[in-house]
Amino acid sequence: MKRICDAFPKDWIKIYHNDASIEKCLEYLPDVGFHVLNWGKHTSIADVKHRVGNRLCLMGNVTPFEVMAKGAPDQVRAATLDVLEKSGGENIILSVGGGTSPGTPRENILAMQAALAEYNAGRK
């Protein structure tokens, strides 16, 4: 993976997306050469944050299907706030892990946006 990352221009932002388990290689990922880690639901954001610290920007990690597509807005709010609190709201790109599932209700996307605004308002 490092050879692949190194083959791209140095000024490119490289994002690693992996929905499989990253448990066994997590500590090594910051040294591979990409800048952003987007991972699946198998590993909690608290564990990822603890193990990589600020060596990578994290992207995620509200569950795309069970929460965003099938959950209620209050579940999306709770899951979003959980991600933000466990990440410390730093060095993170808030998103659903793996991408937005087809059929995700607009209300749930708005609930995620509202939870982010709520979290940020509390940080001032």
What is the per-residue pLDDT for 55? 95
Q: What is the number of structural domains in the chain? A: 1
Determine the structural domain holding residue 102 and report its residue range. 2-123
Q: Using one digit for the tens of pLDDT, what is the confidence trace for 73-116?
A: 999 999 999 999 999 999 999 999 878 899 999 999 999 999 99
Q: What are the b/e assignments for 45-76, b being 16+ CB within 10 Å?
A: beebbeebeeebbbbbbbbbbebbbebebebb
pLDDT band at 5 (very low <50, low <70, confident <90, very high): very high
Query: Model confidence over 33-83: pLDDT tens digits?
Result: 999 999 988 889 999 999 999 999 999 899 999 999 999 999 999 999 999
CATH number, domain with residue 118: 3.20.20.150
